[in-house]
Chain A
Amino acid sequence: MKRQFLKAGFAGLLISGFLSHAAWSQSDPTGKRRITNTYAITNATIFASPGQPGTKATILFREGVIIGMGPNLSLPKEAQRIAGDSLFIYPGFIDGASSAGITKPKDPERPKDFVSSNPPDEIAGITPWRSATDQFSITGNQVDDWRKAGFTISQVLPDGGMIPGKAAIMILGNSGSVNVIQENTALAANFSGARGMYPATAAGVIAKFRDVYHNTTLALDHSRLFASTSGVKRPEMTPTHTAMAAVVQGQIPVIFKAETDLEARRAIALQREFGFKLVLAGLDNYETVIDLIKSSGTAVLIKLQVPDDKAIKNQKSDSVTTATKAQYARVKEAYDKALKQASLLEKAGVPFGFSTLDAKPGDAMKALRTMIKNGLTEKTALAALTTNPATILGIGKMAGTIEKGKMANFVISTDSIFKEESQIKHVVVDGYIFDYEVKKKSVNGDGKTENEPAAIAGQWDYTSQTPAGSSGGELIIAKNGVKYTGTITYADPSGNGKVTAPIKNVSVSGKKLTFQFDVNAGGMSLTVDITGEITGNAMDGTMSVGQFGSFPLTAKLTTPSLTL
């Protein structure tokens, strides 16, 4: 008896890695098992799909599937009830192209006879056989952050060179589950060249793309001839050809990362040349190609980000010449135009989704609100987060709206989702409930909220995690009237020891602290942006270094300054 029990527990443990918790029938040594997998959120305001008004109803789901929705549902005994009276429920957001949870695989070792003018595909960044599933971890970088921002499903792209591999659709659910919805959903491609070898530039990448595409077509022709005729020499399908076949045969699209209008045109030109299905991802500057996107029928996933307003804010009103003022005006004009792009895409009738590539999770909702302020309708904003990407990804049957039979993926907020004061309280993914802290309004009735600036002055110790490892230093912030000044120390990138640099543009809004400092690396000056959220004496944030990416950063206020 005892032995059997142990065995079962062991089997349960084994299975837990692969199957959902429903398979468990015995004791749970991990303590992670849920009491029930049936939930009911009662009497909430439900926005079942974009454009539909909210209706008061109860929603019932089991094992990640919506099994009922309505005002008078009879709830089974095992359903855990969550009072939803003050809550607003939206379909879970879908990210059309993401790098969340992806870790770049190690570069393969170069062969002894390596020649940079003719490198093997694998080293030159042509790895269409790779799958994002092999690079994805549900506990990986930024998955939690994007889930917190409302994203429940994500098409993740593998990291790598010009053709890094195949995308996969993931559910951003429980870490104990297998979270792949669909593998090999698209071929990821971009215009980045390989470092120090062919193809090194966008021009080389485009030429190499043509080469790979043509030769896959020919290899397939060869294979067909081999299959139908005797006396034909055997085909030699390389891993590249085999993996490209699905694109050439029209089974899956190419998802091209294209940030600018020129990149979009280049991808569309290749699409026209070869006829593959095309999805553009990460569009940032696309105003001039909206007509082309429409006429070519290209699916688009625009970057979920709006340009930062630093250049606008730093414009000085006095002591500048008329010529500089005119230039300021053009930057302002460009900024205003950039904010309007999404609404122009809507006006053109292009059903777009979002991509979170290179975007910041913490700013997602702010970006959406800014787009809405600049003409995007709330209905289209929600569609771009739900139904549109579901269609582009081909998962409209299971996700995108709140309907009986669809996956239990919800964003649950404290108010109508796009309202400034609305906060996301829960995100339900695959029937798992993730809870988030909601900042309460203050009770003293003076209209002020907890959004009063946090006390930041004092001495902080910080630690940052970059691919180069963990590093840290001291951050000193002093309040100077209404302004903040200070210094930061960091490990000298060009040698040993620490460097101290002044910090600038310090701003505190509620619990959010942002500031910048300049790093001198090899004669090049880089601006480092720090954004963090302050809870008590701790700060949890990110450090973004130019185009090199964003990295986690934490800090502790070791010596709060008492003299403000």
Chain B
Amino acid sequence: MKSSTTQSTPTGEIMIQARFPVRIQAGMWPLKNNYKQMKKLNLILAALLGLGLNYSNAQTQKGNVLIKNATVLTVTKGNLENTDVLVQNGIIRQVGKNLSAPAGVETIDASGKYLMPGIIDAHSHVALDVVNEASSPITSEVRMKDVVNPFEIGIYRALAGGVTISHAMHGSANVVGGQNATLKHRWGAKDPSDIIMQDAPRTIKFALGENPTRVHGRGNGIQPRTRMGVEAVLRNGFNEAIQYKKGWETYNTAKGQKGNTKTPPVYNERLQTLADILDGKIIIHCHSYRADEIYMLINVAKDFAITKLVFQHTNEGFKVAPEIAQYTMGASVFADWWAYKMEVYYSTAFNAAILQRNGAITSINSDSAELIRHLYHEAAKTQRYGGLTDEEALAMITINPAKQLGIDDKVGSIEVGKQADLVIFEGHPLSSYTVPQMTFVDGVKYFDIKADPDDQRQFVSATEMVEPIFLHTHENHQCLQDVDAYFEAFQGAFIEEKH
């Protein structure tokens, strides 16, 4: 998070650490170590430097910890037996054997346990107060960052499943949906900006196929009514954005000149955002199922020189895997979830493996507040269906989604210099019997199975009665009988937004 921090030194000097350091000598200002005056001065300086006056917002917490004797699954650098990982100020400082903890740094003995990078879910709707501004075929001006809710219990449940980062996405009603938020699961934060990963690049939701044509075409009688309409909405949108950008460039050049008669164009964040996509500032994450629509978007992207593109769901991705590999940042898919509507019938559990072996960056996502709790199981399914290696399977929920979110230089593997988002597992994380033990974000422990009180809610209503929630009541049910009803009930309990 970019916020300024101030410190005073014994000489009465004030250091303001900001985007650029400013050093002010004591003699420059008529002040001694008067705290109030200093604070006021800082405020003035902060205002001058355009830093915002976000003083009340503390910087997000960064932890120090030494994890000893773990089997470290680095994902990118192989597996290291009996290895220690030292975290200082939220960053992985050392990975090696026989490391000793500096003074004041807690040591955790992970003998016989597995340490892996925090799991990253490239498709989630957890911690959002609003998911779908479903009212227009393009809503690129809408930002999920405006409606993040840090109190949502789903964050803690995700942590209990080892997930440290989730990609909180806009819904799939619109061809171009809203801008997404990449979240770090700093459970306990009260300020939404504290759980937003501020150093992650911008991403945006697109959607093809049945959802936008149903909502806008069939629902409102406007374009897009068909997949052809979806493509038209995209191409028209981008072309308008090019015009829009040009209009502003013309105005901005003319503005300062003498005798200028050019007037400002109408501001339109919707088109500005599309222009930002064309300028490579935003990664597209596109809800898609069918091969034809996937290939369509690849062609649109090529025509508009867009390279930052990830496909979501991508159930027929296996049909166009080489194309996805060649032109895009890959696909984020379900392990084995399909047939919930017509366009998702032609599916296979081998999808992820086929994509992976064709060289596409592939991740496994949840799109569900329930599945997010066991993404490691979902990743393991790629071994049953496709025989991926441990490293390939783990990459599906760590470094690969990190790449797709543009944060692989910061997270997604256990490497010196990366942010210390870590999970300790009892048992190999791809085993059916594995259980996450502790989850760290920036070296701060947010989940510990041994210190896990029942009621983890951050916010409790003063006026609502406590009602017991039963997920299921029959203990002696026959296997798989009524599984549909059970699954529906389960979805109802956890999922607000259906893909």
* B464 interface neighbour in A201, A229, A294, A331, Cβ under 8 Å: A331
- Comparing B24-32, B140-148, B481-489, the segment that makes contact with chain A is B140-148
Complex Cα–Cα for A222 and B251 (A): 12
Known: A203-B130, A235-B263. A330 touches B139 (CB 8 A): no
* B260 interface neighbour in A201, A229, A262, A294, Cβ under 8 Å: A229
B261 adjacent to A231 (CB under 8 Å): yes
Nearest neighbor of A211 in chain B, beta-carbon distance: B269
B135 adjacent to A204 (CB under 8 Å): yes
- Chain A 254-278 per-residue mask, 1 if CB under 8 angstroms from chain B, else 0: 0000000110011001001000000
B263 adjacent to A314 (CB under 8 Å): no
- Chain A 195-234 per-residue mask, 1 if CB under 8 angstroms from chain B, else 0: 0111111111011001100110010011001100111110
* B149 interface neighbour in A221, A262, A308, Cβ under 8 Å: A262
Known: A215-B266, A231-B261, A296-B53. A266 touches B146 (CB 8 A): yes
A201 adjacent to B132 (CB under 8 Å): yes
Asked if B220 lies at the interface with its beta carbon under 8 angstroms from chain A, I say: yes
Asked if A291 lies at the interface with its beta carbon under 8 angstroms from chain B, I say: yes
Nearest neighbor of A310 in chain B, beta-carbon distance: B463
Complex Cα–Cα for A221 and B260 (A): 13
Nearest neighbor of A322 in chain B, beta-carbon distance: B454
Q: Which residues of A contact B384 (CB under 8 A)?
A: none
Q: Which residues of B contact A323 (CB under 8 A)?
A: 454
Interface size class of A (residues with CB under 8 A): 35 or more
* A211 interface neighbour in B149, B259, B268, Cβ under 8 Å: B268
Interface residues of A in 264-307 (CB under 8 A from B): 265-266, 269, 272, 288, 291-292, 294-296, 307
Asked if B97 lies at the interface with its beta carbon under 8 angstroms from chain A, I say: no
* B261 interface neighbour in A232, A334, A335, Cβ under 8 Å: A232
Complex Cα–Cα for A333 and B190 (A): 18
Known: A211-B269, A232-B263, A272-B52. A204 touches B142 (CB 8 A): yes
Interface residues of B in 210-225 (CB under 8 A from A): 216, 220, 222
Asked if B21 lies at the interface with its beta carbon under 8 angstroms from chain A, I say: no
In the complex, what's the smallest C-beta–C-beta distance from B72 to chain A, in angstroms?
Answer: 37
Nearest neighbor of B463 in chain A, beta-carbon distance: A307
Q: Which residues of B contact A307 (CB under 8 A)?
A: 462-463
In the complex, what's the smallest C-beta–C-beta distance from A314 to chain B, in angstroms?
Answer: 6
A326 adjacent to B455 (CB under 8 Å): yes
Nearest neighbor of B174 in chain A, beta-carbon distance: A117
Nearest neighbor of B133 in chain A, beta-carbon distance: A204
Point out which of B57, B259, B267, B268 has the most chain A C-beta atoms below 10 A from its C-beta. B267
A295 adjacent to B460 (CB under 8 Å): no
Asked if B129 lies at the interface with its beta carbon under 8 angstroms from chain A, I say: yes
Interface residues of B in 443-499 (CB under 8 A from A): 454-455, 457, 459-466, 468
* B455 interface neighbour in A115, A215, A296, A327, Cβ under 8 Å: A327
Complex Cα–Cα for A218 and B266 (A): 7
B190 adjacent to A233 (CB under 8 Å): no
Asked if B107 lies at the interface with its beta carbon under 8 angstroms from chain A, I say: no
Asked if B109 lies at the interface with its beta carbon under 8 angstroms from chain A, I say: no
Interface residues of A in 316-345 (CB under 8 A from B): 323-324, 326-328, 330-331, 333-335, 337-338
Asked if B346 lies at the interface with its beta carbon under 8 angstroms from chain A, I say: no
Known: A203-B130, A211-B269, A231-B261. A292 touches B56 (CB 8 A): yes
* A327 interface neighbour in B57, B130, B222, B466, Cβ under 8 Å: B466
Q: Which residues of B contact A221 (CB under 8 A)?
A: 263-264
In the complex, what's the smallest C-beta–C-beta distance from A255 to chain B, in angstroms?
Answer: 20
Q: Which residues of A contact B101 (CB under 8 A)?
A: none
Q: Which residues of B contact A202 (CB under 8 A)?
A: 129-130, 146-147
Asked if A525 lies at the interface with its beta carbon under 8 angstroms from chain B, I say: no
Q: Which residues of A contact B216 (CB under 8 A)?
A: 117
* B191 interface neighbour in A211, A222, A265, Cβ under 8 Å: A265
B136 adjacent to A198 (CB under 8 Å): yes
Between-chain CB contacts (< 8 Å), 7 pairs: A115-B222, A117-B137, A203-B147, A203-B178, A215-B266, A218-B266, A334-B462
Known pairs A218-B265, A315-B466, A330-B460. 15 more at Cβ < 8 A? A204-B139, A207-B269, A221-B264, A225-B261, A233-B263, A262-B129, A262-B149, A292-B191, A307-B462, A310-B463, A311-B462, A324-B466, A328-B466, A331-B460, A334-B461
| Those 9 A-B pairs whose CB atoms lie nearest each other, nearest first | A117-B136, A198-B135, A335-B462, A204-B133, A214-B267, A295-B56, A334-B462, A334-B460, A327-B466
